[in-house]
Amino acid sequence: MLYNLIKNILPHFRFEGQYESVSECVSGNVNNTYRLVYLDGAREKHYVLQRVNSYVFREPRQVMRNIALVTDHLRAAMERRGEPTEGRVLQLIPTTTGDVLYEDGQGGFWRAYNFIENATAYDTVDSPALMREVGRGFGAFQRLLSDFPADRLFASIPNFHHTTKRFYAFVHSVDEDAAGRVREVENEIEFLFDRRKMMGSIVRLLDRGELPLRVTHNDTKSNNVMVDNKTGKAVCVIDLDTVMPGSALYDYGDAVRFGASTAAEDEPDTSKIALDMEKTRAFTMGFVEETNGFLTQKEIELLPLGIKVLTCELAMRFLKDYIDGDVYFKVNSPKHNLIRARAQMALLEDVEKKEDALNAMIRDMID
């Protein structure tokens, strides 16, 4: 039972009221996330409890330090602008000893947040209007952090979007063939080798100083922004584990890859997978509306490259994890990572076909 997993953890946090119930949020691929209901008199209080994946995040305390720095900065920026902060920035619930993490003595690191009320995190984006809002949410996030000193942040996952280093790690996994699965995926390996140069292009542009390093979210799936149920406006960006120095192209590309795909990230029928141009345009409008004025002309022109690189990177990450024997991402079937990798490859092929249209879309928007 779910409750048994968390019952010894709950007393260590300063939750208000009496525990009432728990449900699991299953959409994340890395951490375990639970939604808690407490009763404070007649009032319901909602919290989010997470077990941080310490295989993925080797230094959970440093991750929490980053989150505290970033949320403080966001709150201060909103206050300066006279904007409300309640329900608009993640708010940590301290442990009974005033800490930001509870260590359970069995290797588990736990943290808790206030639940963002009357808002939804969308796993699928059904309309261009919603996609534009998601774009505004992530664009505003980047704008609010544009004056944050990047060197204060710890690399929660070093070289997270460093596709060149990731490629070497991938080749190493292929050589090791730890789970004996390489023979089965030779075509997929070739697919990635063919795109090796393209995959490294953002890293090269950053290295040469042709693209600026910014503080970015780095995991911009639509379900990482809460959208208000009444107003339909993006109110709060969540999942701040990977906020690190990066490129605006990462956040743009990853968001389009996820939200503008016509199918789920693990759709087994690849004939259903394509890039929805209308949703891509809508996201781009929202994102550019919020970042216009500080993104460089070159960054804006190169946004479509972000879609290609991030889609290819994730295809490689899923395939690598399949080859390694499913050690990183949570899986719900033995072939889950392979299905995910193939889905990203199908999406990338469609993005490649639409490259001219994507570039024309950007030109139209900035003219």
Q: One symbol per residue from 49 to 68: x for binding ligand GN1 (CB under 6 A), - otherwise; what is it?
A: -------x------------
240, interface contact from ligand GN1, Mg ion, none, CB < 5-8 Å by kind: none
**According to the binding rule CB under 6 A, does residue 265 interact with ligand GN1?**
yes
Put residue 105 in one of left, alpha, beta given phi > 0 → left and psi -120 to 50 → alpha.
left
Name the one range near Mg ion by CB under 5 A: 161-169, 219-227, 300-308, 357-365: 219-227
Minimum Å distance from CB 43 to ligand GN1? Answer: 30
Q: Which residue has the tokens 């949320």?
A: 71
The values of phi and psi at residue 98, to 5°, are 80, 15
Smaller CB separation from ligand GN1, 219 or 276: 219
- Minimum distance from CB of 110 to ligand GN1 (Å)? 16
- Choose the one of ligand GN1, Mg ion, none that binds residue 29, judging by a C-beta under 5 to 8 angstroms depending on kind: ligand GN1
Question: Among residues 12 and 224, whose Cβ is nearest to ligand GN1?
Answer: 224
309 binds ligand GN1 (CB under 6 A): no
Closest contact distance (angstroms) between CB of 322 and Mg ion is 19
CB 299 within 8 A of CB 350: no
How far are the Cα atoms of 49, 60, 162, 215 from residue 36, in angstroms, in the given order? 7, 22, 36, 31
Binding of ligand GN1 by 261 (CB under 6 A)? no
Cβ-based nearer residue to ligand GN1, 10 or 52 = 52
Site for ligand GN1 contains 242 (CB under 6 A) = yes
Q: Is 293 exposed, middle or buried (0-12, 13-18, 19+ CB in 10 A)?
A: exposed
Q: Is 251 in the site for Mg ion (CB under 5 A)?
A: no
What is the spatial distance between Cα 259 and Cα 224, in angstroms, rounded to a whole number?
11
With respect to ligand GN1, which residue has the nearer C-beta, 15 or 109?
Answer: 109
Member of 145, 153, 285, 314 binding ligand GN1 (CB under 6 A): 314
The alpha helices in 92-149, defined as continuous H runs, are 128-144
Q: Report the 10 Å Cβ neighbour count for 209.
A: 8
* 102 φ/ψ angles, rounded to the nearest 5 degrees: -115, 125
Distance of CA 271 to the CA centre of its chain: 25
**Which is nearest to 288 in space by CA: 131, 138, 128, 139?**
139
Cβ contact 145:215 at 8 Å: yes
The one-letter amino acid code at 150 reads A
239, 251, 267, 321: which one binds ligand GN1 (CB under 6 A): 239
Residue 30 makes contact with ligand GN1 by CB under 6 A: yes
Q: Kindly state whether residue 219 participates in binding Mg ion, applying the rule CB under 5 A.
A: yes
Among ligand GN1, Mg ion, none, what does residue 265 contact (CB within 5–8 Å per kind)?
A: ligand GN1
Residue 293 region, left (φ>0) first, then alpha (ψ -120 to 50), else beta? Answer: left
Residue 56 interacts, among ligand GN1, Mg ion, none and using kind-specific CB cut-offs from 5 to 8 Å, with ligand GN1
End-to-end alpha-carbon separation of the chain, Å?
A: 57
Interface positions with ligand GN1 (CB under 6 A): 28-30, 56, 219, 239, 241-242, 265, 314
